[in-house]
Structure 1
Amino acid sequence: MRITQGTFSFLPDLTDEEIGLQVAYALRQGWALAVEYTDDPHPRNAYWEMWGNPMFDLADPAAVVHELRECRKVFPRHYIKINAFDSTRGFESVRLSFIVNRPPEEPGFELLRTEAQGRVQRYALRAYATDHPVGRRY
């Protein structure tokens, strides 16, 4: 199963050169960038770990690509994404987010169905990765 979260998630993985071009675009927009990682990519897990501090006022995308490479060295089997934050009044939110690293195997999710009163069906997702403790999921 391939996790599809964020921009470009239905496309083949971006190369470092293509990532650099997306970072350059974000910088031209004046957005701040951050690198984040996780071993639990559940869709409701909105709080990934931040790699270093957010990067403000950059001019060269090489700094972001360097931080990405350093994060990959430490967490080669984790999901890593780049977020571009727009601090413009009225937006003040992430405008671009895309996955830039994936584990070699993505086990996916299990769909859990529970019957409730009457004919009501309730559904939930559970990540197969959570069968293992944190740090050993991939």
Structure 2
Amino acid sequence: MRVTQGAFSFLPDLTDQQITAQVQYCLDHGWAVNLEFTDDPHPRNTYWEMWGLPMFDLADAAGVMAELAACRKLHGDLYIRLSAFDSTAGWESVRLSFIVNRPAEEPGFRLDRAEQSGRRIAYTTRAYATDRPEGSRYGA
């Protein structure tokens, strides 16, 4: 199963050259770029670990790509997401976000069903990866 979150999620993984082009687009528009990583990509998990601080006032995508390389070196077996924040008045939110790194194996999600009063049924989505403790969900 392939986790699909953010822009480009239904496309094949972007190459570093394509990521660089997207980062440069963000920087050209004055957006701050940041990197985050996690071993639990559940759609409701909005609190990924931040890699360093958001990168403000950069003009060249090379700085972001160097940070991405460093993050991949340490967390290459996890999900890494790149986000671009627009601080312009009226927007003040994320303009672009996409996954730039995935673990070699993506175990997917399970749909748990619970019957409730009457004929109601509640569903919960749970990642198979969370069957293992945090920090050991991917890899050996």
Same fold (TM over 0.5): yes
Measure how far apart 1:117 and its partner are.
Answer: 1.0
Measure how far apart 1:130 and its partner are.
Answer: 0.6
* 1:34-92, Cα deviation, whole Å (9 max, x unpaired): 01000010100001001011000000000001100100000111000100000011111
User: Structure 1: how far apart are the matches of 2:114 and 2:131?
Assistant: 20
Q: Which amino acid aligns with 1:2?
A: R
Query: For 1:19, what is the secondary structure of its paired residue?
Result: helix
1:88 aligned onto 2:88: yes
User: Structure 2: how far apart are the matches of 1:132 and 1:114?
Assistant: 23
User: Structure 2: how far apart are the matches of 1:81 and 1:114?
Assistant: 32
Q: Which amino acid aligns with 2:18?
A: E
User: Structure 1: how far apart are the matches of 2:109 and 2:15?
Assistant: 26
Aligned residues: 138
Query: Where does structure 1 differ by over 6 angstroms across 4 or more consecutive aligned residues?
Result: none
- Residue pairs, 1:1-138, within 5 angstroms: 1-138=1-138
Structure 2 unaligned spans of 5+? none
For normalisation by structure 2, the TM-score amounts to 0.97
Structure 1 unaligned spans of 5+? none
Query: For 1:71, what is the secondary structure of its paired residue?
Result: helix
Query: For 2:26, what is the secondary structure of its paired residue?
Result: helix
Query: For 2:96, what is the secondary structure of its paired residue?
Result: strand
For normalisation by structure 1, the TM-score amounts to 0.99
User: Structure 2: how far apart are the matches of 1:92 and 1:120?
Assistant: 39
CA RMSD of aligned residues (A): 0.5
